[in-house]
C-alpha cells in the first residue's frame, strides 16, 4: 500500500447561511478551479440569538500538496463567493496561525 505525507495545513471558512446553498456554491467552485473542500453545518449561538451557517474546510491533501499561501488564496476566493451566494455581510477565515474577519457592512467600511 502506498503512503504519502504532507505538512498539515488547513484553512477554515466560517460563514452564516443555508447549508444546501453553500454546498451548491462549493460544488460549482470546485468544478471551475479543481479544488476539494468539506462542508459541515454549524450553529452560531451568541448573546440574544442563534443563526445557522457552515464551516468550509480546506486541507493540504497529500495526493496534491500545496503551500499554505496557495490554500489561503483559494479560501479567500471561495469565501467571497459564498458571502455573495449566501447573502451575508461578513465571514471569518481561520488558519493555524491567525484568524481573519472580512466585512462588507457599510458601517465597517467608512
pLDDT category, 7, cuts 50, 70, 90? Answer: confident
Radius of gyration of the chain (CA): 15
- Across the range 65-86, mean pLDDT stands at 95
In a domain, 82, yes or no: yes
pLDDT category, 35, cuts 50, 70, 90? Answer: confident
User: In terms of Cα–Cα distance, which of 72, 92, 108 is closest to 15?
Assistant: 92
d(CA 49, CA 45): 6
pTM: 0.92
Does residue 42 carry a pLDDT above 90? yes
pLDDT category, 51, cuts 50, 70, 90? Answer: very high
Range of the domain at 102: 10-108
SS3 75: helix
In a domain, 3, yes or no: no
Does residue 64 carry a pLDDT above 90? no
Q: Total structural domains in the chain? A: 1
CATH number where 15 lies: 3.30.70
Q: What angle do CA 26, 27, 28 make, to 5 degrees?
A: 90
User: In terms of Cα–Cα distance, which of 91, 88, 32 is closest to 56?
Assistant: 91
Amino acid at each position: 500500500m502506498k503512503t504519502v505525507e504532507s505538512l498539515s495545513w488547513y484553512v477554515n471558512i466560517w460563514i452564516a447561511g443555508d447549508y444546501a446553498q453553500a454546498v451548491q456554491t462549493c460544488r460549482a467552485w470546485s468544478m471551475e478551479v479543481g479544488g476539494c473542500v468539506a462542508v459541515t453545518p454549524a450553529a452560531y449561538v451568541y448573546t440574544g440569538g442563534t443563526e445557522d451557517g457552515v464551516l468550509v474546510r480546506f486541507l493540504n491533501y497529500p495526493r496534491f500538496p500545496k503551500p499554505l499561501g496557495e490554500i489561503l488564496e483559494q479560501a479567500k476566493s471561495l469565501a467571497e463567493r459564498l458571502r455573495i451566494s449566501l447573502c451575508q455581510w461578513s465571514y471569518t477565515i481561520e488558519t493555524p496561525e491567525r484568524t481573519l474577519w472580512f466585512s462588507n457592512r457599510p458601517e465597517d467600511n467608512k
